[in-house]
Structure 1
Amino acid sequence: MRQEPRQDSAPLSRHLRVHQDRGYTVLELRGEIDIAAAAEIMPHLDRATAQEDSRVVIDLLGVDFFDCSGLRLLYRARSRVLERGGELQLVCTHPLTLRVLKVTGLSRLLPPRATLEAALGRPEATSGTS
């Protein structure tokens, strides 16, 4: 079966770019994800997770700094997706962010993938519900 091509879109802000890829809404977060960035990202995250059976990837590969505001975004996205029977994938390789995810236990609920391809290519790997 042929996959639908990636559809590019312009960045919504300096911290966020949203595009469609293989049936997923991909939210690429960039830069420093702090309280100001989280407030900017939240409406877009809510829009991406509002539909029943939504398939969402949050890509943190472009993130330099990630604090508790970023964790709240991830927890919120996971809760909204699970409530609606959807799927959430996380992409992250930054050592400090991975450590925060592990220490908080979020990495058990939302196992990070090393690449966007790994997240998009593993539809059976859901958001920690199995």
Structure 2
Amino acid sequence: MNHGVPPPAGHLRSYRAHGRTVIEFHGEIDIAAALTILPVLDAATAPHETLIVIDLTPVTFFDCSGLALLCRARGRLEAQRGELLLVCPQPLILRMLRILGLTARFHPAPTLPDALHDGRPARELS
């Protein structure tokens, strides 16, 4: 995975933090962006990963295509007893999650440190 360098499409960046894969979505996350993000997200949620963090902080637009990406990643991780952590300080995205009744499923945190240090046992964070 590229560390700190967005791919040519510019819609995501992935890196490791606290021993976990963090995937930052960037810019406008619509159907066109989702098509470029999907293969990377599927690779990141492969059976060897147990916890993935998706950070929506750099997102400027987010529609149902982005929501579908989140739901797919969460479902793939849960199928292998993994977990998806979501970082989302974006009021409009939080509102979308709330309206759709998904806030309780995703438990969005306002920052990456908040997502990684939310009371989990230390062994789960290393």
Please report the TM-score for the alignment, with normalisation by the length of structure 1. Answer: 0.85
2:15 pairs with 1:11? no
CA change 1:16–1:107 in 2 (3 A) is: same
Q: Which runs of 5+ in 1 are unaligned?
A: 1-6, 126-130
Q: Counterparts in 2 of 1:101-116, with a 5 A limit?
A: 101-116=97-112
Displacement of 1:51 in angstroms is 1.9
SS at 1:50 equivalent:
coil
The whole-number CA distance in structure 1 between the counterparts of 2:18 and 2:119 is 11
2:82 pairs with 1:73? no
Q: 1:38 aligns with which of 20, 34, 39?
A: 34
Q: Cα RMSD over matched residues?
A: 1.7
SS at 1:38 equivalent:
helix
SS at 1:19 equivalent:
strand
Instruction: State the aligned residue count.
Output: 119
Q: 1:59 aligns with which of 55, 61, 71?
A: 55
The whole-number CA distance in structure 1 between the counterparts of 2:19 and 2:119 is 11
8 Å contact from structure 1 (residues 30, 63) kept in 2: yes
- Which residue identity lines up with residue 85 of structure 2 in the other structure? Q
The whole-number CA distance in structure 2 between the counterparts of 1:79 and 1:91 is 17
Provide, for residues 67-117 of structure 1, a one-character-per-residue CA deviation record: whole Å limited to 9, x for no partner. 000010010011000001112100001111110011112211011000001
CA change 1:65–1:88 in 2 (3 A) is: same
- Which residue identity lines up with residue 14 of structure 1 in the other structure? G
Provide, for residues 26-56 of structure 1, a one-character-per-residue CA deviation record: whole Å limited to 9, x for no partner. 0000111000000110011101111245210
Q: Which runs of 5+ in 2 are unaligned?
A: 122-126
8 Å contact from structure 1 (residues 49, 80) kept in 2: yes
Provide, for residues 4-38 of structure 1, a one-character-per-residue CA deviation record: whole Å limited to 9, x for no partner. xxx93421231100101112110000111000000
